[in-house]
Chains A and B, each alone.
Chain A
Amino acid sequence: MYLADRRSASSSAASPVERPPGPDRRPGRRAVAAVPSTVLVLGTVSLITDISSEMVTAVLPLYLVAELGLSPLGFGVLDGLYNGVSALVRLVGGRLSDRGRGGGHKAVAVVGYGLSALCKPLLLMVHSLPLIGAVLAVDRTGKGLRTAPRDAMISLAAEPATRGRAFGVHRAMDTAGALCGPLVAFVLLRVAAEGYDAVFTVSFCVAVLGVVVLLLFVPGRAARAAERTPAAERTTPAESTTVAERTAVAESTAVAESTTVAEGTTVAEETAERDPAGPRMPVRALLGRPEVRRLTGCAVLLGLTTISDSFLYLTLQRRLDLPGGWFPLLPLGTAAVFLLLAVPLGAIADRIGRRRLFLAGHLALLCAYGLLLAPLSGGAALVCAVLALHGSFYAATDGVLAAATADAVPEHVRGSGLAVVQTGQTAARFLCSLAFGAAWTAWGDHTAILAAAIGLALAAAVSARLLRRVGASSPLNSPPEQAS
């Protein structure tokens, strides 16, 4: 992080200014190479925080069963309620974070990270299921609260042209932390048998470190990439015309080129909206924007057919009759692929268009469903293929959706916009879990997966249409250099 900080904001901001104007300009490797320090710091904070939270997640079942002697069955009863509250908090958090002219993002994120940190010592103090459930709910609330403002800060710090990659870097760091957490917990339990108190205490210390890094090294008011790059990146009206004249070219380039046109509009729009007494944009007004509405619609539509990880692993295990010892390893497979592919796929999203990759990611998920349905008996190879597709799905959609949202939402309501899209997606996935469970009960797992696959194919087809229309009229779907 020390190194990250040294790569100060000004150096990465310098490159776009040096770009030659015109549609053929190339942003130069420097802009691509340098991930903004704020993104690296936020990635570090996420990495540290995920180590902390996954340490607890890894030992929690054992702690409840072996140490407290509790029967954790029926623990998920309140999950629905917690999910609902978490969704509301997320929206409110996103909304609040847009106040304070950029400083709000950091403040809300600090509260979110802080809340989760405080839950760790609380876990040591409560010994009953309802109270432990409540602490976990607060922990999750903290996560809900911080996600949108954090993503807003990433999107504001990153160059619009390399936003996908910036989110990829962040998600990769985040996942690396998630993979390390259980290992740290394991080492602690090895040093101190049954030392759950040590695990929770160390987890707390790690979480506090994350908050301190956030407080110290993330600028309170994000130096916006857009503000740092005035004339050169903004397209002049004259240029817009030339570009506009060529909009009849092949679909892919058309999307990219029109990007530059619409950018001018957005700037004007944003300046208008950022007038001194400028109105803050409530959720309804945000959804009034066609691009936001369509993106949210697609995220919800696709979310409604995205079955939860647990169901996917459960189906995988049942269909392939995996040995029991494999089961705990399945999430690691997904995470490892996510970690490996987050950055490259983020960069690809920047080149071919974030919405396109977001859709492609869901096709990977569709292929995973297909493998679960196919009468194959590949054993280990099939498991690896499903997990690789599942991990690619996350790498192609998680950070990429945030980047695509950032394209559609003006800066001063970035937090709210991200919160709206993410909440829509989360709520849809939760509904999908309920529906999938019901379908399983009624028809069995094979038919339930088949229904999910058909639903996903339809949702992807509708989304492709919706997003294409957005693409034609929205800014920054892909970087300007792709126009050539």
Chain B
Amino acid sequence: MSRPPLSRTARLLILLATVLVLGGVAVGATLYAAGRAAQKDRTQTGGPAVTPGAVRLDDPHHTLFRNMAWGPHRDEITAVPTDRLSGPRTASGVRCLRFYQASGTGICLQAVHGKLRDTYRAIVLDNHLHELRHYDLAGTPTRARVSPSGRTAAWTVFVSGDSYAGTAFSTRTSLVDTRTWHLDANLESYALAVDGHPVHAADINVWGVTFADDTHFYATAATAGKTYLVRGDRIAKTLRALHTNVECPSLSPDGTHIAYKKRVQGADPDAPWRLYVLDLRTLRESATGEHRNVDDQAVWRDDHTLVYSLPGNYGSDLWTVPADGTGTPRRLTTAALAPAFQH
């Protein structure tokens, strides 16, 4: 600070030069990103064929998922022949970040591009993917499920802290009865019991619902740094812990097994989850043949086969592995997310 101060003109010139350089960098970075975004709207050669068409949720020969392939139908729910998941895709025109369907009821978590900010909403869809009801969401969508009969739907969003560089994230999970339209906006209001003792902490988080029937479900509840598999009851409004270290459970169609992400000891803290299966009758857990990190709520293709997403060139690909711990993982299709199989 011993230098003589610069003259006013010199300071203004330096400021002007800085603004020009920084402005150039900022505009350049924005144009580059905009160009890249535009590229994603053009169909990529070699990608799956996507054509618009009529899509039905309960079509027995088709499976639905979010199409991640670049092109005009990116992020739309598409139908593919169930026996050939990598085959041609029929785009529904409905864009969803997360999606699930059962027995003709769909749940779609989508972004709404507003004037001043983007928001999210959950949409309950009928068999022809028309909106029945929608609910505004408090955060970023992450999980969505529908009960086997199609009556009850559930979804989870991430809600972020609001402080400076806030790093306190929490989840919020809601349930809706599509017959009465009764909404349980936050499952944290259910009575949680761990080892038979009631827990009502401020740090309870519930996420990743998977339905047994219209009333009963399984989910992950976390409190005091531990995660639990809980069995929930929509009528009694209770959550009862069954097992620890279970995240994003997924119930097999026959209701006997839970596939889930288990946080394993000694793993890379960025990639701590492995795909496990829990036998609900014996509470014995077993690893699957997938040894990579899985951060997804897996789905059951049938009572013996799991399908899950792993990062791919277009966001994510769908993979499959047997549920009994045998076999090796196999890629089903590229550029797809959030599949829903007919059971």
Which residue of chain B has the shortest Cβ distance to A54 in the bound complex? B164
Which residue of chain A has the shortest Cβ distance to B114 in the bound complex? A186
Which residue of chain A has the shortest Cβ distance to B12 in the bound complex? A2
Which residue of chain A has the shortest Cβ distance to B112 in the bound complex? A325
Q: Is A233 an interface residue (CB 8 A)?
A: no
Cross-chain contact of A61 among B33, B158, B205, B311 (Cβ < 8 A) = B158
Interface residues of B in 23-38 (CB under 8 A from A): 23, 25-26, 29-30, 32-34, 36-37
What is the minimal beta-carbon distance from A77 to any residue of chain B, in angstroms? Answer: 7
A residues less than 8 Å from B159 (CB atoms): 327
Q: Is A328 an interface residue (CB 8 A)?
A: yes
How does the 8 Å CB contact mask read for A421-452 relative to B, with 1 for contact and 0 for none? 00000000000000011001100110010000
> Contacts A198-B29, A311-B202 given: A61-B165 contact, CB under 8 Å?
no
A10-18, A162-170, A215-223 - interface stretch:
A215-223
A79 to B159, CA, bound (A): 17
Q: Is the CB of B1 within 8 A of A103?
A: yes
Interface residues of A in 55-98 (CB under 8 A from B): 56-57, 60-62, 65-66, 69-77, 79
Interface residues of A in 235-264 (CB under 8 A from B): none
A327 to B157, CA, bound (A): 12
What is the minimal beta-carbon distance from B93 to any residue of chain A, in angstroms? Answer: 18
What is the minimal beta-carbon distance from B237 to any residue of chain A, in angstroms? Answer: 15
B residues less than 8 Å from A73 (CB atoms): 158, 169-171, 205, 207, 222
Q: Is the CB of A198 within 8 A of B32?
A: yes
Which residue of chain B has the shortest Cβ distance to A190 in the bound complex? B113
Q: Is the CB of B140 within 8 A of A186?
A: no
What is the minimal beta-carbon distance from B262 to any residue of chain A, in angstroms? Answer: 14
Q: Is B179 an interface residue (CB 8 A)?
A: no
Q: Is B119 an interface residue (CB 8 A)?
A: yes
Which residue of chain A has the shortest Cβ distance to B188 in the bound complex? A318
Q: Is A191 an interface residue (CB 8 A)?
A: yes
Q: Is the CB of A202 within 8 A of B29?
A: yes
Most buried by A among B29, B32, B113, B316: B29
> Contacts A53-B165, A69-B295, A186-B116 given: A440-B201 contact, CB under 8 Å?
yes
Q: Is the CB of A76 within 8 A of B137?
A: no
What is the minimal beta-carbon distance from A332 to any residue of chain B, in angstroms? Answer: 9
Q: Is B314 an interface residue (CB 8 A)?
A: no
> Contacts A100-B1, A309-B163, A441-B201 given: A202-B15 contact, CB under 8 Å?
no
Q: Is A159 an interface residue (CB 8 A)?
A: no
A212 to B18, CA, bound (A): 8
What is the minimal beta-carbon distance from A64 to any residue of chain B, in angstroms? Answer: 8
A residues less than 8 Å from B164 (CB atoms): 53, 57, 140, 143
Cross-chain contact of A202 among B30, B157, B163, B165 (Cβ < 8 A) = B30
Q: Is B6 an interface residue (CB 8 A)?
A: yes
A residues less than 8 Å from B142 (CB atoms): 65, 71
Which residue of chain A has the shortest Cβ distance to B160 in the bound complex? A61
Q: Is the CB of A136 within 8 A of B165?
A: yes
Q: How large is the interface on B (under 10, 10 to 19, 20 to 34, 35 or more residues)?
A: 35 or more
What is the minimal beta-carbon distance from A257 to any residue of chain B, in angstroms? Answer: 39
Q: Is the CB of B37 within 8 A of A194?
A: yes
Q: Is A323 an interface residue (CB 8 A)?
A: yes
Which residue of chain A has the shortest Cβ distance to B25 in the bound complex? A205
Cross-chain contact of A182 among B19, B117, B202 (Cβ < 8 A) = B117
Q: Is A189 an interface residue (CB 8 A)?
A: yes
B residues less than 8 Å from A107 (CB atoms): 1
Q: Is A331 an interface residue (CB 8 A)?
A: yes
A441 to B186, CA, bound (A): 17
Cross-chain contact of A309 among B116, B140, B162, B207 (Cβ < 8 A) = B162
Which residue of chain B has the shortest Cβ distance to A213 in the bound complex? B15
What is the minimal beta-carbon distance from B224 to any residue of chain A, in angstroms? Answer: 8
What is the minimal beta-carbon distance from A218 to any residue of chain B, in angstroms? Answer: 11
A residues less than 8 Å from B158 (CB atoms): 61, 65, 72-73
B residues less than 8 Å from A140 (CB atoms): 164-165
Q: Is the CB of B22 within 8 A of A209?
A: yes
Q: Is the interface of A mostly helix, strand, loop or mixed?
A: helix
Which residue of chain A has the shortest Cβ distance to B157 in the bound complex? A324
> Contacts A129-B270, A191-B34 given: A310-B118 contact, CB under 8 Å?
no
What is the minimal beta-carbon distance from A67 to any residue of chain B, in angstroms? Answer: 9
Q: Is B279 an interface residue (CB 8 A)?
A: no
Q: Is the CB of B1 within 8 A of A220?
A: yes
A324 to B174, CA, bound (A): 10
Q: Is the CB of A324 within 8 A of B172?
A: yes
A321 to B174, CA, bound (A): 13
Q: Is the CB of A75 within 8 A of B168?
A: yes
Which residue of chain B has the shortest Cβ distance to A314 in the bound complex? B202
What is the minimal beta-carbon distance from A213 to any residue of chain B, in angstroms? Answer: 7
A residues less than 8 Å from B23 (CB atoms): 205
Q: Is A387 an interface residue (CB 8 A)?
A: no
A56 to B164, CA, bound (A): 10
A residues less than 8 Å from B1 (CB atoms): 100, 103, 106-107, 220-221
Q: Is B85 an interface residue (CB 8 A)?
A: no
Q: Is A402 an interface residue (CB 8 A)?
A: no
Q: Is the CB of B201 within 8 A of A195?
A: no
A205 to B26, CA, bound (A): 6
B residues less than 8 Å from A189 (CB atoms): 118
A182 to B117, CA, bound (A): 8
Cross-chain contact of A62 among B37, B140, B168, B201 (Cβ < 8 A) = B140
Q: Is A139 an interface residue (CB 8 A)?
A: yes
Listed by A's residue number, 7 A-B pairs whose Cβ atoms lie within 8 Å are A60-B165, A66-B140, A191-B33, A193-B40, A195-B37, A314-B202, A326-B136
Known A-B contacts: A70-B295, A212-B15. Give 5 more (CB < 8 A): A61-B160, A73-B207, A130-B270, A194-B33, A325-B137
Give residues in B with beta carbon < 8 Å to A: 1, 5-6, 8, 11-12, 14-15, 18-19, 22-23, 25-26, 29-30, 32-34, 36-37, 40, 97, 113, 116-119, 121, 135-140, 142, 157-172, 174, 185-186, 189, 199-203, 205, 207, 222, 225, 269-270, 295, 311, 316
